[in-house]
Amino acid sequence: MVSHSTIILLLIPVVAVFLLDINSAFAQESTGNYMSARIEIWGLFYRLMVVAFVIGAVVMGTITYVVWRFRESHPKNRGNITPSRSEGAHH
């Protein structure tokens, strides 16, 4: 079964692409107002850079949470991490 965090991470790019396409779906251009290809390419570049920064921020936030949650000094992780002499290997 797929975890909830995996589903959320898979949905983020889908939602970002969907939101980028909403703006272009409602835009109506007259036949006299054509944009040059160079402007369109730069516009696409900037939109994709925004998507890349948002996805990067989500990934960095997730990494920060995991590092902070499972750090060595966390109260739940302060137990005895070395095995005792009696629980060692059987020789």
User: Between 37-69 and 4-26, two packed helices, what is the crossing angle to 10 degrees?
Assistant: 160
* Amino acid letter for position 53: F
Model pTM score: 0.46
* Dihedral over alpha carbons 48, 49, 53, 55 (to 10 degrees): 20
The domain of 55 spans: 37-72
* Domain contains 80: no
With vertex at residue 14, the alpha carbon angle to CA 65 and CA 27, rounded to the nearest 5 degrees, is: 130
In percent, the amount of the chain with pLDDT more than 70 equals 60
Count of C-beta atoms within a 10 Å radius of residue 62: 13
* Domain contains 55: yes
What was the pLDDT predicted at 56?
A: 96
Query: What tens digit of pLDDT does each residue of 36-77 get?
Result: 778 888 889 999 999 999 999 999 999 999 988 888 777 776
In percent, the amount of the chain with pLDDT more than 90 equals 24
How many independent structural domains does the chain possess?
A: 1
Closest among 1, 2, 5 to 69, alpha carbons compared: 5
